[in-house]
Amino acid sequence: MTRGVLLDLAGVIYDGETAIPGGVDAVARLRKAGLALRFVSNTTRSSKQEVLERLEGMGLTVTKADVFTPAQAAREWLLRNGLAPYLLVHPGLAPDFYDLPHRDKRAVVIGDAGEAFTYAVLNEAFRELCAGAELLALATNRTFRDADGGLSLDAGPFVAALEFASLKRATVLGKPSPAFFLAALASMGCPPGQAIMVGDDAESDIAGALRAGLSGALLVRTGKYRQGDEKRFDPRPTATVADLAAATDWIIARRD
Amino acid sequence: MTRGVLLDLAGVIYDGETAIPGGVDAVARLRKAGLALRFVSNTTRSSKQEVLERLEGMGLTVTKADVFTPAQAAREWLLRNGLAPYLLVHPGLAPDFYDLPHRDKRAVVIGDAGEAFTYAVLNEAFRELCAGAELLALATNRTFRDADGGLSLDAGPFVAALEFASLKRATVLGKPSPAFFLAALASMGCPPGQAIMVGDDAESDIAGALRAGLSGALLVRTGKYRQGDEKRFDPRPTATVADLAAATDWIIARRD
């Protein structure tokens, strides 16, 4: 029996600033069917406030507590571990880290910084790691679908670069970290065995969710999806469907 | 019995533009002892011509045929495989690739591009890989000793980033590729079992040479060497010595 659904945002609900057709209506249908919903996003180019405003602009009513972002998980992790962040993130995400208390020890926090990934800042971050800083990855996605429709480098390749240089392993906070999926599920009191994930990333969303113990994970052919993705990573999706509207049909038809 | 010696350049013979004390004299002593010598460098920030001029400026007589560089190996590889280079290298190295014939198919050639590693060019290279280009790494060194004395990111981390993003494995042409060591040894008719490598990189120089079958590899405590490096990678150095002068003493004392 399915009681809860986790939805990815970029590539499932919207592409850039544009809503994916049928997405908003699909969310309403899932809610009407009595399913608990949470949004789990690895987008690390926008603050949570911006994400909420974008969703609202598309006609979706979503509260702060409905959306789980790696930045929020990172804040909690930094507070718990008594570390200050050395930020290697997109300027749009920095506000999510503004009011953390001063600490002597640091963690390099790396997200999808885009053009902000220069040799100089990567090298500075590497030297922080050499000096003892921890390495905290908001996400390890390989690619995202860029504004021109092509795939572009996401945070993952740069996490791999810093891991390779420093011989340190990153602590990963966003998808595919099982803790990330489980935190979102716990917030709605839904055990993983009664939950379905819907996403466009066969690795982070799909393989990640199944490894976290979710009962199913649906890959949509929108966003960054490329032909053959469903066979590229293990475990493979429970099903591959056209979009969130089709995923909603699938979930409602099989919910019991 | 030792008949041939392979010497790394940066960190062994010189640091930046400065000769390491005793290095030039050590080279003369090795030659006087009747040992065949070749220089195997992973430096990919200067053309071979510049490397030769730097050595000459330090009082070392070295011919073009004495120096093995990854760029030279890459040229030969590109010609053999009928591919044109898509260069992601330091501007100083580009001349080594100027006169290659036009080909339709390409290989991304990645070296230590330094500040030239921007998000935009890395992303362009990634898209070349997605479109079918091969990935050719001049070197996979993690770090080099920078002008300020600190360690900085070498080519390796960026090779790791592109491999991670593209799911392709790079063909490595410089150290620690066994073919690179063996080509230098073959040029002086010396079997690997009668050759010693001297370098400051415990991974590329030392573990690499021993994996290629050399009878010994000496780690010097100059250049990028950091305390504990001799225990960081396998196989470990045959011995760890102060510098090239000490390595020369070691080799000459044990040559028979």
> What is the pLDDT at residue B256?
79
With contacts defined as CB-CB under 8 Å, which chain B residues touch A158?
161
> What is the pLDDT at residue B35?
97
Q: Taking CB atoms and an 8 Å limit, are A150 and B158 in contact across chains?
A: no
> What is the pLDDT at residue B109?
97
Instruction: Report strand pairing: B143-145 vs A195-199.
Output: unpaired
Taking only the tens of pLDDT, chain B with its 256 residues reads 999 999 999 999 999 889 999 999 999 999 999 999 999 999 888 889 999 999 999 999 999 999 999 999 999 999 999 999 999 999 989 988 988 999 999 999 999 999 999 999 999 999 999 999 999 999 999 999 898 999 999 999 999 999 999 999 999 999 999 999 999 999 999 999 999 999 999 999 999 999 999 999 999 999 999 999 999 999 999 999 999 999 999 999 998 7
With contacts defined as CB-CB under 8 Å, which chain A residues touch B161?
153, 157-158, 160-161
Closest CB from B113, B130, B153 relative to A151: B130
pLDDT of A163 over the 90 cut: yes
Q: Taking CB atoms and an 8 Å limit, are A160 and B160 in contact across chains?
A: yes
| Least confident segment among A42-46, A247-251, B87-91, B191-195 | A42-46
**Position A45 confidence tier, pLDDT thresholds 50, 70, 90:** confident
User: At A15, phi and psi to the nearest 5?
Assistant: -120, 110
Asked if B116 has any chain A CB less than 8 Å from its own CB, the reply is: yes
With contacts defined as CB-CB under 8 Å, which chain B residues touch A152?
123, 126
Distance of residue A193 Cα from the nearest chain B Cα, in angstroms: 31
pLDDT of A44 over the 90 cut: no
Closest CB from B119, B156, B165 relative to A117: B119
Query: A–B: how many Cβ contacts below 8 A?
Result: 87
Q: Is the peptide bond before B176 cis (omega within 30 degrees of 0)?
A: yes
Q: Taking CB atoms and an 8 Å limit, are B119 and A123 in contact across chains?
A: no
Model ipTM value: 0.91
pLDDT of A43 over the 90 cut: no
B148: Cβ–Cβ under 8 A, 6 or more apart, which residues? none
Strand ranges, E, within chain A: 4-7, 14-15, 18-19, 36-40, 67-68, 84-88, 106-110, 134-137, 143-145, 151-153, 171-172, 195-199, 216-220, 239-241
- What Cα–Cα distance (Å) separates residue A6 from each residue in A67, B141, B184, B226? 10, 41, 57, 47
Distance of residue B163 Cα from the nearest chain A Cα, in angstroms: 8
CA B203 to chain centre: 11
> What is the pLDDT at residue A191?
97
Q: How far apart are CA B4 and CA B7, in angstroms?
A: 10
With contacts defined as CB-CB under 8 Å, which chain B residues touch A91?
none
> What is the pLDDT at residue A256?
79
Q: Could you give the strand order of the β-sheet that contains B134-137, starting from the edge strand earlier in sequence?
A: B84-88, B106-110, B134-137, B171-172
Q: Taking CB atoms and an 8 Å limit, are B161 and A157 in contact across chains?
A: yes
Q: Taking CB atoms and an 8 Å limit, are A115 and B115 in contact across chains?
A: no
Mutation site for A-interface testing, chosen from B164, B168, B203 by largest number of A Cβ within 10 Å: B164
> What is the pLDDT at residue B44?
83
Q: Taking CB atoms and an 8 Å limit, are A126 and B162 in contact across chains?
A: no
Q: Taking CB atoms and an 8 Å limit, are B119 and A115 in contact across chains?
A: yes
Q: Taking CB atoms and an 8 Å limit, are B118 and A118 in contact across chains?
A: yes
> What is the pLDDT at residue B17?
85
Summarised one tens digit per residue, pLDDT across range A75-103 is 999 999 999 999 999 998 998 898 899 99
With contacts defined as CB-CB under 8 Å, which chain A residues touch B130?
151
Mutation site for A-interface testing, chosen from B118, B126, B172, B203 by largest number of A Cβ within 10 Å: B126
Q: Taking CB atoms and an 8 Å limit, are A157 and B162 in contact across chains?
A: yes
Q: In sequence order, which ranges of B62-190 are alpha helices (DSSP H)?
A: 70-81, 119-130, 155-166, 178-186
Q: Taking CB atoms and an 8 Å limit, are A120 and B120 in contact across chains?
A: no
Summarised one tens digit per residue, pLDDT across range A186-225 is 999 999 999 999 999 999 999 999 999 999 999 999 999 9
Domains and CATH numbers, chain A: 4-42+176-253 (3.40.50.1000), 70-172 (3.40.50.1000)
- What Cα–Cα distance (Å) separates residue B126 from each residue in A222, B108, B111, B119, B135? 21, 9, 15, 10, 10
Summarised one tens digit per residue, pLDDT across range A10-29 is 999 999 889 999 999 999 99
